[in-house]
Amino acid sequence: MTSPDSPTDVTAPTEGQASTGAVTVAIDGPSGSGKSSVSKAAAQRLGLAYLDTGAMYRAATWWCLDQAVDLTDADAVAAAVRAMPLVMGVDPAAPTVHVGETDVAGPIRTTEISTAVSAVATNLAVRDELRRLQRAEIDAQRDPSSLSQGRGMVAEGRDITTVVAPDADARILLTASEESRLARRARELHGDADAASVAATRDQVVRRDADDSTVSQFTVAADGVVTVDSSDLDLEQTVDAVLAVIAQVTGTHE
């Protein structure tokens, strides 16, 4: 349960994937690097669907706690996640997360879930199941009748460039210094980035990344993955930098 995914832990491209004309963009990076904000904006500007795979791990954690599953019981957690009625809404203008009839978009962002999620995300059977669902979402957006009308999807997380979609047309590692990431998260959660706010945010950024790194490699770009460092860029500049990489490697423009 603790061996990191390496670039060799790669699923071979499915036959025919490259010939549909759809574009798949894979973006990975550590906590607070800007994956969600940047991926959503890039998807909107390109007319692509958007998949937040971190939200899927968060929803799995919410579901296990809701079902009173002991998070230290790996088999029980895996069984619960296989039975989870998860529905991801992939419109980048209004992404949604439902478990059954329950809208969990808010509940999955609580400190309780942020603190517990790594326990679920490091369960390898859970990862197998959620990766299967993620590949199905990516494949669905290659269909002309899909939300993106077959234009494709931006999917972001920790193992999208390496394991879920190593065959993506554009693969990007979005990084930022630990200092920038802590300050961003502190501002988001506490309204400022003073010493107390940064200290209160450290567990959600640094400890979580350390735990998540035991099963995924998201700090060093794998072969063929382009690094975009956003430490000294604002959000808009980062979106532009990511769009420039996508245009360069796929020819896809706004």
Ligand X SMILES: Nc1ncnc2c1ncn2[C@@H]1O[C@H](COP(=O)(O)OP(=O)(O)OP(=O)(O)O)[C@@H](O)[C@H]1O
Ligand Y SMILES: Nc1ccn([C@H]2C[C@H](O)[C@@H](COP(=O)(O)O)O2)c(=O)n1
Least distance to ligand Y, CB of residue 136, Å:
15
Whole-angstrom CA distances from 113 to 63, 108, 110, 145, 206 are: 10, 6, 5, 35, 16
Looking from the CA of 161 toward its CB, the CA atoms found within 13 Å total 22
What is the CA 1 to chain-centroid distance, rounded? Answer: 20
The torsion angles phi and psi of 119, rounded to 5 degrees, stand at -60, -35
Nearer to ligand Y, 79 or 124 (CB): 124
Known binding residue 152? Answer is no
Nearer to ligand X, 22 or 60 (CB): 60
Site residues, ligand Y (CB under 6 A): 31, 53-55, 57-58, 117-118, 121, 157-160, 208, 212, 216
230 binding partner (options ligand X, ligand Y, none; Cβ < 5 to 8 Å by kind): ligand X
141 binding partner (options ligand Y, ligand X, none; Cβ < 5 to 8 Å by kind): none
Least distance to ligand X, CB of residue 109, Å:
9
- Residue 216 lies near ligand X (rule: CB under 6 A): no
- Residue 188 lies near ligand X (rule: CB under 6 A): yes
- Residue 232 lies near ligand X (rule: CB under 6 A): no
- Residue 31 lies near ligand X (rule: CB under 6 A): yes
117 binding partner (options ligand X, ligand Y, none; Cβ < 5 to 8 Å by kind): ligand Y
Nearer to ligand X, 98 or 187 (CB): 187
Helix (H) or strand (E) holding 228: strand 226-229
- Residue 228 lies near ligand X (rule: CB under 6 A): no
Known binding residue 157? Answer is no
- The partner residues of 98 in beta bridges, in order of sequence, read 87, 103
Identified binder of ligand X from the candidate list 35, 142, 151, 171, rule CB under 6 A: 35
Nearer to ligand X, 128 or 234 (CB): 234
Contact indicator for 122, 111 with CB cutoff of 8 Å: no
Among 225, 232, 198, which residue's Cα sits nearest to residue 29? 225
Nearer to ligand Y, 53 or 197 (CB): 53
Q: What does the alpha-carbon distance between residue 194 and residue 197 come to, in Å, rounded to a whole number?
A: 5
Whole-angstrom CA distances from 235 to 26, 34, 90, 181, 222 are: 18, 8, 21, 12, 24
199: tokens are: 């200290």
157 binding partner (options ligand X, ligand Y, none; Cβ < 5 to 8 Å by kind): ligand Y
Query: Angle 189-193-197 (CA atoms, 0-180°, nearest 5)?
Result: 60
Nearer to ligand Y, 137 or 212 (CB): 212
237: tokens are: 């500049």
Known binding residue 197? Answer is no
Q: Tell me the H-state helices in 16-97.
A: 35-46, 53-66, 74-82
53 binding partner (options ligand X, ligand Y, none; Cβ < 5 to 8 Å by kind): ligand Y
**Which spans of this chain sit near ligand X (rule: CB under 6 A)?**
29, 31-37, 54, 184-185, 188, 230, 233-235, 238
